[in-house]
Amino acid sequence: MLVVIPLFPDFTALDAVGPYEVFRLLPGTEVVLVAACPGAVRADSRKLALTADRAFDEIDSCDVLVVPGGPGSRKPPDALVRWLQKVHPTTRWTTSVCTGALILGKAGILRGGMTATTHWAAADLLRAFGVEYSTERVVFQDKHRVATGAGVTSGIDFALTLAARLADEETAQAIQLVLQYDPQPPFDAGDPGRATPAVRERALDILHHLVPAVGLTGPTSGA
Amino acid sequence: MLVVIPLFPDFTALDAVGPYEVFRLLPGTEVVLVAACPGAVRADSRKLALTADRAFDEIDSCDVLVVPGGPGSRKPPDALVRWLQKVHPTTRWTTSVCTGALILGKAGILRGGMTATTHWAAADLLRAFGVEYSTERVVFQDKHRVATGAGVTSGIDFALTLAARLADEETAQAIQLVLQYDPQPPFDAGDPGRATPAVRERALDILHHLVPAVGLTGPTSGA
């Protein structure tokens, strides 16, 4: 089984590395990072780069596509969008984490009355593609072979859920145990509906600083 | 504030990228990935590489050291161990995620009756350094300026906890919200004490496959 994760400038590293870490532990599974050209691709912080080992034009098909998000999702490279349009018909599952859903939207992959999720602050940007935004953390649309995860860290929950479907629950649980994924966040502020207004304000400040050119959709979208 | 994350061959990517993603959102904080030489460093899967932007000998001091784990922790490069010994006295916090604790142990940083944590399957390897192994997910030893996280995904919980200490709780909560860290694992198998025996057996199979040369310490360590 081939899982392909495309990278693009200003992606968010954890969006990609969470699912990578799950799928690379799935027996019989190959994980490949791709980009327009092989080599280092800078993440949104500019402080980290992941290496793409293959170019888009080397991969014509795969079993699972995982599109990460990040500020770069607002203006995804044409080469990425065209490649997704080419590969999507070959997949068992075409998926996204965080604002990767906006790239699926741009590629026309979310058409047909689909429900999907994305980062809470990008809900309206997702709706602009005619998509029903869900506040669920992981949304599967079996009929469309599409699955989407919410912001950043949802990629781990999403990937474990998909691993169970691709293999079986015991295998997915073993991967969860290898990753010691027994989360114990020190605060209960990970959902916009439960964070305080002051925390939401601070989070939006940080997000606007990360995505200065395009802006986001306001604090109420995910509540 | 300078947060430095050293990379070495066969590190586990998520051990590094979880804390990176938290600290790079902390206002006024610089995050730098370092290695023996600048350039791409392959993770344990060989399917992913992170770019180190600086060499060990370019960094003489920092505020926070975050040492990831991975199979490569069993035989860490001498250059890494020596560099940790040099930089540790300058830090506010010297920390590890997963089996990064074994590297701290090798560098002599866990001496003095310390309690620490690591990946559940490496508990006995940690005890071999004369350390009290804790099943807690995040262990702070304030007197020693040392903090350790359990396996892989604990790095996110650890980093949010430390972010609150370095800044304040509201800032850490805003980062949690930016990362939409509202974990909803599909299974309750992330702790060795709650996973079924069959799942633990499968997890150890996967781990032994990842670390074929050295082996691990048996299924009961973290229970």
Q: What is the pLDDT of residues B73-127, one digit of tens each?
A: 999 999 999 999 999 999 999 999 999 999 999 999 999 999 999 999 999 999 9
Cβ count within 10 A of residue B203: 26
| Whole-number Å distance between alpha carbons of B158 and B99 | 14
What residues does A97 pair with on adjacent strands?
Answer: A149
Residue B21's SS3 state is helix
How many Cα atoms within 13 Å fall on the side-chain side of residue A107? Answer: 26
What tens digit of pLDDT does each residue of A179-195 get?
999 999 999 999 999 99
| Whole-number Å distance between alpha carbons of A73 and A90 | 23
Band (pLDDT 50/70/90 cuts) for residue B209 is confident
Band (pLDDT 50/70/90 cuts) for residue A210 is confident
Cβ count within 10 A of residue A176: 29
Please tell me which of the candidates B150, B170, B172 has its beta carbon nearest to residue A180.
B150
Look up the CATH number of domain A2-184: 3.40.50.880
Cβ contacts (< 8 Å) between B20 and chain A: which residues? 13-14, 45, 47-48
Cβ contacts (< 8 Å) between B137 and chain A: which residues? 182, 184
Band (pLDDT 50/70/90 cuts) for residue B215 is very low
Handedness of CA A153, A159, A162, A167 (dihedral sign): negative
**What ipTM does this complex have?**
0.93
Q: Which of B186, B219, B171 is nearest to B27 (CA)?
A: B171
User: What contacts B34, CB < 8 A, 6 or more positions away?
Assistant: B4, B5, B6, B7, B52, B53, B54, B55, B56, B58, B59
Cβ contacts (< 8 Å) between B17 and chain A: which residues? 13-14, 17, 48
In the structure encoding, which two tokens stand for residue B90, read together? Answer: 């300058």
Show the beta-strand stretches assigned E in A69-183. Answer: 93-97, 115-116, 132-133, 138-141, 146-149
How many Cα atoms within 13 Å fall on the side-chain side of residue A198? Answer: 5
What tens digit of pLDDT does each residue of A38-54 get?
999 999 999 999 999 99
Contact at CB, A50 and B49, closer than 8 angstroms: yes
Return the residue of A nearest to B31 by Cα.
A47
Contact at CB, A189 and B174, closer than 8 angstroms: yes
Answer for the pair B47, B25: CB distance below 8 angstroms, yes or no: no
Cβ count within 10 A of residue A1: 15
pLDDT at A223: 32
Q: Best residue in A180, A209, A220 to probe B by mutation, most B CBs within 10 Å?
A: A180
Answer for the pair B118, B151: CB distance below 8 angstroms, yes or no: yes
State the smallest CA–CA distance between residue A120 and chain B in angstroms: 8
- How would you classify the pairing of strands A64-67 and A54-55? unpaired
Burial class of residue B110, CB neighbours in 10 A (0-12, 13-18, 19+): buried
Please tell me which of the candidates B14, B178, B186 has its beta carbon nearest to residue A203.
B178
What tens digit of pLDDT does each residue of B29-55 get?
999 999 999 999 999 999 999 999 999
What residues does B40 pair with on adjacent strands?
Answer: B51
Model confidence, pTM: 0.94
List residues of B with catalytic annotation: 98
pLDDT at B220: 39
Answer for the pair B186, A161: CB distance below 8 angstroms, yes or no: yes
What residues does A93 pair with on adjacent strands?
Answer: A64
Give the C-alpha distances (Å, rounded to integers) separating A123 from A143, A190, A218, B115. 22, 16, 9, 44
Residue B23's SS3 state is helix
Please tell me which of the candidates A183, A184, A200 has its beta carbon nearest to residue B177.
A200
Burial class of residue A189, CB neighbours in 10 A (0-12, 13-18, 19+): buried
What tens digit of pLDDT does each residue of B139-181 get?
999 999 999 999 999 999 999 999 999 999 999 999 999 999 9
| Whole-number Å distance between alpha carbons of B189 and A180 | 8
| Whole-number Å distance between alpha carbons of B98 and B116 | 11
pLDDT at B212: 56
Return the residue of A nearest to B199 by Cα.
A174
Give DSSP secondary structure letters for B115-143. EE---GGGHHHHHTTT-EE--SSEEEEGG
Residue A94's SS3 state is strand
Q: Which of A60, A112, A66, A117 is nearest to A85 (CA)?
A: A60
Q: What is the DSSP letter of A213?
A: T
